[in-house]
Amino acid sequence: MNNPLLKSFNTPHQTPPFNEIKAEHYLPAFKEAMKQGREEIDQIVNNAEKPTFKNTIEAMENTGKLLNRISNIFFNLNSAATNDTIQAIAREVSPLLSEYGNDIALNEDLFARVKVVYDQKEKLKLTPEQIKLLENTYKGFVRQGALLSGEAKARYREVTAELSQLALQFGENVLAETNAFKLHITNEADLAGLPAQYVEAAAALAKSEGQKGWLFSLQAPSYMPFMKYADNRDLREKLFKAYAFRANNNNEQDNKDNIIRIANLRLEKANLLGYSSHADYVLEERMARSPQKVNEFLNELFEKAYPFARKEVKEVADFAKTLGFKDQLQRWDFAYYSDKLKTSRFKLNDEMTRPYFQLDKVKEGIFSLANKLYGLTFKRNTSIQVYHPDVEAYDVFDEDGSFLSVLYLDFFPRNSKQGGAWMTSFRDQHKDNGVDIRPQISVVCNFTPGSDKQPSLLTFNEVTTFLHEFGHALHGMLSEVTYESLAGTSVFRDFVELPSQLMENWATEKEWLQHVAFHYQTGEPIPAGLIDNIIAADQFESGYSTVRQLSFGFNDMAWHSITSPISGDAINFEKAAMEKTELFPEVEGSAMSPAFGHIFNGGYAAGYYGYKWAEVLDADAFSLFKQNGIYDKTTAASFRHNILSKGGTEDPMTLYINFRGCEPTNEALLIRSGLVK
């Protein structure tokens, strides 16, 4: 077979030739790449020379390059442009990849060579980055079972193989359940309250599916506006319950048994490796270091935020009564009445700001921000092949004009794409025989698409989401390391959100908003009064949003702090974990865990707290920009040099102190959030 995945890519910047790659190419390519990877490992193991950093650690770092390339392409598409064929291949190849990984991690002869080098690390005169690579390599073996033997080693293989399959199945079930439900409206009166663009989008969705009337889906650009604006309370309840019961409907896509099985297998894996819980295992390699520290952190913020959250929910309930609402405030009422309260209090809502946030203008504004801070420029490159017509590709250049990165932008929802927003890469930055190999970075979102009548106009939340994911992209694009496994976002999970959350701060800065917000029809700049209202509303319901985030963190820690296997009902388990954070009446049987992709299919197991942890870092870091000027090039250069360029080459607290001059405290976050009395 003439397989493009197995050839050198004769494309701009060696980007993936998406137009040539067919589904049938993947499985043979995976098998050939694993065969080559095993041969590369055998060469290291069979090397007659004594183990050295170069012939063992660096040699290992350079194995599996072909497999990495194919995996990055395939699994990125499985998230952003999947289909039944790709999903079937994923199910077939995942256990093969688990077996491949285990064959390396559990190779006793290979580990013996690594250990020889590790044991003499003090004598080797290595650079800090080389020391980090050596430590990561050694720990990677130990944390993947290298010290196991006999039955324990065999069982470890079984557990990891099953976990990879369960995670895939989890994600497929959530996507299927998200796509399966549509709220079909045929009575125009049921659209009352909804702004015109959402009605138009719903009509277009219905037309695309051969139906009359209007369709609303569980995708965020359809679901969120309906919950916020639709006057019909019964329909809000119906849509809310469809969302809250995803993968929890006692059908073939139900995830309740899956998540119990995943949690128990993660515990068993941790026990095999000598840890009392999965959280203990994970947090050994995080800034927080221990479950105790995480729980102390979550509880400290919870105690500060919960009184504010209760007060904020009561304010919404009381305001709803002034509008004639006579029932008890339910979850499907909160966004609706909260938005009306915000409009009343601050003369502000999404529909007032949306006309000023045209996607193309926001994109230009974010590009301009990257230019002001770091000197970057962006040029659309239509000769780079993309995996879907919606995707745009850019060449990114540094201040001196040198090529820095490829950037893919994929903005709009579709049935083949998972929900949410994320940054990923098709290739990470590294050096190959002294040649700087530049990265290929992708930002994937689910923004409100345009229509025949107007371009894509973003909510304020979508603007901050764009800034957030672009912060991750900068982390990838500005990487300046030697080893690919340490590049860009390859850092501790509770540190990785610092660059992304830092970028969100510009969304409430008048200087930046004046530069990006122009009315899509008239070209008029956003009124100064509206900017003032955006800034004034920045702390609106910060207690509520903080407690909501903390509830996810408590739930995550509960699933992954178990020290004995769970039996029984997954919904009751979640309820106990989140009980103290509840602010609304219980909706019997609803749950987030069966669709909580971050922790069951996304790498945030025992790590969801990291969003709040990184908020402490970003609030503290941005206070330096506020002090020196939000476009201060010296501060930006320091952040680039000490944080963005370094990837995972040093301990993150060391990197942070190098930038800030001291360790962070909660104070800046509490002040920014208005959670201090």
Tokens at 148, concatenated: 């196991």
Tokens at 567, concatenated: 């039996």
pLDDT tens per residue, range 286-338: 999 999 999 999 999 999 999 999 999 999 999 999 999 999 999 999 999 99
Q: Which pLDDT belongs to residue 451?
A: 86
C-alpha distances in Å from residue 209, one per residue of 200, 201, 206, 222, 583:
14, 12, 5, 15, 38
Q: Residue 224 falls within a domain, yes or no?
A: yes
> Of the ranges 42-46, 135-139, 348-352, 477-481, which one carries the lowest mean pLDDT score?
348-352
pLDDT band at 677 (very low <50, low <70, confident <90, very high): low
Q: Residue 625 falls within a domain, yes or no?
A: yes
Q: Residue 586 falls within a domain, yes or no?
A: no
Same domain? 441 vs 497 = yes
Q: Hey, how many other C-beta atoms are within 10 angstroms of the C-beta on 631?
A: 15
Same domain? 455 vs 538 = yes
Q: Residue 332 falls within a domain, yes or no?
A: no
Same domain? 457 vs 379 = yes
pLDDT band at 589 (very low <50, low <70, confident <90, very high): confident
Q: Residue 400 falls within a domain, yes or no?
A: yes
pLDDT tens per residue, range 65-79: 999 999 999 999 999
Same domain? 122 vs 70 = yes
- Three-state DSSP class for 311? helix
Same domain? 139 vs 203 = no
Same domain? 231 vs 85 = no
Same domain? 627 vs 503 = yes
Domain count, the chain: 3
Report the CATH number at residue 76.
1.20.1050.40
Q: Which pLDDT belongs to residue 608?
A: 97
Q: Which pLDDT belongs to residue 452?
A: 85
Same domain? 385 vs 522 = yes
Give percent of the chain with pLDDT exceeding 70: 100
pLDDT tens per residue, range 88-120: 999 999 999 999 999 999 999 999 999 999 999
Same domain? 20 vs 128 = yes
- Are the C-beta atoms of residues 381 and 394 closer than 8 Å to each other? yes
Q: Residue 367 falls within a domain, yes or no?
A: yes
pLDDT tens per residue, range 505-557: 999 999 999 999 999 999 999 999 999 999 999 999 999 999 999 999 999 99
3-state secondary structure string across 219-275: CHHHHHHHHHHCCCHHHHHHHHHHHHCCCCCCCCCCCHHHHHHHHHHHHHHHHHCCC
Q: CA 405 to CA 23: how far, in whole Å?
A: 27
Report the CATH number at residue 454.
1.10.1370.40
Residue ending a domain, among 189, 219, 244, is 244
Residue ending a domain, among 199, 221, 244, is 244
Q: Which pLDDT belongs to residue 676?
A: 84
Whether pLDDT at 665 is above 90: no
pLDDT tens per residue, range 424-460: 999 999 999 999 999 999 999 999 999 888 999 999 9
pTM reported for the whole predicted model? 0.92
pLDDT band at 235 (very low <50, low <70, confident <90, very high): very high
- Three-state DSSP class for 298? helix
User: Which residues are the active-site residues?
Assistant: 469
DSSP-derived letter for residue 496 is: T
Q: Which pLDDT belongs to residue 4?
A: 98
Q: Residue 260 falls within a domain, yes or no?
A: no
- What range defines the domain where residue 189 resides? 181-244
Same domain? 364 vs 510 = yes
Give the pairing type, strands 440-444 and 403-410. Answer: parallel
Same domain? 363 vs 496 = yes
pLDDT tens per residue, range 179-226: 999 999 999 999 999 999 999 999 999 999 999 999 999 999 999 999
CA 591, 592, 597, 600 dihedral sign is negative
Same domain? 360 vs 474 = yes
Helix segments in 565-609, DSSP class H:
570-578, 597-600
pLDDT tens per residue, range 256-297: 999 999 999 999 999 999 999 999 999 999 999 999 999 999
Q: Residue 440 falls within a domain, yes or no?
A: yes
Q: Which pLDDT belongs to residue 666?
A: 87
Q: Which pLDDT belongs to residue 453?
A: 87
Residue ending a domain, among 115, 143, 171, is 143
Q: Hey, how many other C-beta atoms are within 10 angstroms of the C-beta on 40?
A: 18
Tell me what the mean pLDDT of segment 383-395 comes to: 98
